[in-house]
A = this chain, B = another copy of it.
Amino acid sequence: MDQVEIFKALSNKTRLQILGWLKNPEESFPEQGTYGYADGVCVGQIQVKTGLTQSTVSEYLSSLQRAGLVTSTRKGQWTYYKRNEEAFTALSQIIQSEI
């Protein structure tokens, strides 16, 4: 668990927004509808909501994943990303005890 990498991933407004949206995918991405949210939300829907390009958002999601803050699941041609809540709990505790 590389703390610097985690904080770098969190040092960007758009990436913080994405994490916020993934807290309530039903609210933030109602268009996903039928498939459900068990695996999170697919890249394309996140991309539209950010207003940034597909490549940028794909890289942002990778960086969040490298930091351990989200996990990804490939299903067919889609990749779904969802929050890794344990990572946030752990980070919260690290800030209280270690840093």
User: Which A residues fall within an 8 A CB radius of B?
Assistant: 3-4, 7-8, 10-13, 16, 19-20, 88-89, 91-93, 95-96, 98-99
**Complex alpha-carbon distance, A51 and B92, angstroms:** 30
Residues of B within 8 A of A20 (CB): 98-99
Residues of the B chain whose Cβ atoms lie less than 8 Å from the Cβ of A99: 10, 16, 19-20, 88
Q: Which residues of B contact A3 (CB under 8 A)?
A: 10, 16
Question: Which A-B residue pairs are the 6 nearest by beta carbons?
Answer: A7-B10, A7-B11, A92-B95, A8-B11, A92-B96, A92-B92
Cβ–Cβ contact B4 & A12, under 8 A: yes
Determine the residue in chain B with the shortest Cβ distance to A96: B92
